[in-house]
Amino acid sequence: MKISKVLVLFLFASLLSGCILPKSYIDPKYAAISEADLKQLEEKHIVSLDVEFMCNGERFESVDEELKSKVEMALVKSGVVSLAENEQPIKLKVVCNNIADIEAAVAQGFGTGLTLGLSGTAITDYYEIHIEMTQGGTILEKKYEHALHSTIGNKAAPFPVEPISPEAAFEGVIEDVIFEFIKEMQETDVLTFRDHRFVNTAT
């Protein structure tokens, strides 16, 4: 599980009140994007992948594998990219920075626990995600902001959707951003035809 306000809040609330499970919701910012919006390829672009997870700008290497698995799932689901463990001409790097107010999460979780969940708490995990794609001397960079919202105890949902687990919500955040990145690339004829470089050399 990633280091986040959701995790800290859950730990404090559960210690004080038994088991108050968090309910998470993906911010609807990218809700309209799915794999159906991407140009599927019979022969996919093969890339090597590198990731870094951070919390408030501090590296958390222990979370890199979880982040990598989420990015890999999104890339495979896109139908555009195939992954290779060895070095490839196309390299993709994803850096995810979780912006979290840990002190506030602890205080909120303590309050929720003392009232056995009756007061309820709502918190938000913000993510800054930087994607860099390189091929030879060409580098393309994009930066995205996303969020997941969670409630614990007697707190109304922020959006009229069914809640999911924090892990599933984090997976959804990463998928949203990866799909948005590929969609934006393909709108400029990047990551389209397999026999082309990922950059449209005609422009």
Domain CATH number, residue 123? 3.40.50
Q: How much of the chain, in percent, has pLDDT values that exceed 70?
A: 75
Residue 55 lies in a domain: yes
Residue 149 lies in a domain: yes
Return d(Cα 15, Cα 152) in angstroms, integer: 13
Say yes or no to pLDDT of 98 above 70. yes
Give me the pLDDT at residue 202, please: 39
Give me the pLDDT at residue 11, please: 42
Give me the pLDDT at residue 159, please: 80
What is the average pLDDT across 48-67? Answer: 92
Give me the pLDDT at residue 20, please: 57
What's the Cα-to-Cα distance from 62 to each of 51, 66, 98, 105, 119, rounded to whole Å? 12, 8, 14, 21, 33
Residue 198 lies in a domain: no
- Strand, helix or coil for residue 27: coil
Return d(Cα 98, Cα 70) in angstroms, integer: 15
- pLDDT, tens digit, 9 for 90 and up, residues 34-44: 889 999 888 89
Q: What's the pLDDT band for 7 if we cut at 50, 70, 90?
A: very low
Q: What's the pLDDT band for 67 if we cut at 50, 70, 90?
A: very high
Give me the pLDDT at residue 79, please: 92
Q: Which residues contact 194 (CB under 8 A, 6 or more apart)?
A: 41, 42, 43, 44, 45
Residue 30 lies in a domain: yes
Q: Which residues contact 114 (CB under 8 A, 6 or more apart)?
A: 16, 17
Residue 193 lies in a domain: no
The DSSP H or E segment spanning 49 is: strand 45-55
More confident residue, 113 or 63: 63
Residue 200 lies in a domain: no
Report the domain count for the chain.
1
The DSSP H or E segment spanning 171 is: helix 166-187
Report the candidate in 125, 156, 151 with the shortest Cα–Cα distance to residue 22: 151
Q: Check if the beta carbon of residue 110 is closer than 8 Å to that of residue 12.
A: yes
Q: Check if the beta carbon of residue 20 is closer than 8 Å to that of residue 27.
A: no
Residue 139 tokens, joined: 């580098």
Minimum mean pLDDT among 65-79, 159-173, 188-202: which range? 188-202
Residue 158 lies in a domain: yes
Residue 196 lies in a domain: no
Burial (CB count within 10 angstroms: exposed 0-12, middle 13-18, buried 19+), residue 136:
exposed
Report the candidate in 127, 125, 155, 141 with the shortest Cα–Cα distance to residue 185: 141
What is the average pLDDT across 104-110? Answer: 50
Report the candidate in 187, 190, 168, 203 with the shortest Cα–Cα distance to residue 81: 190
Query: Domain containing 76: what range?
Result: 5-187
Say yes or no to pLDDT of 51 above 90. yes
Give me the pLDDT at residue 116, please: 40
- pLDDT, tens digit, 9 for 90 and up, residues 113-159: 444 444 567 788 899 999 999 988 889 999 999 998 888 777 777 78
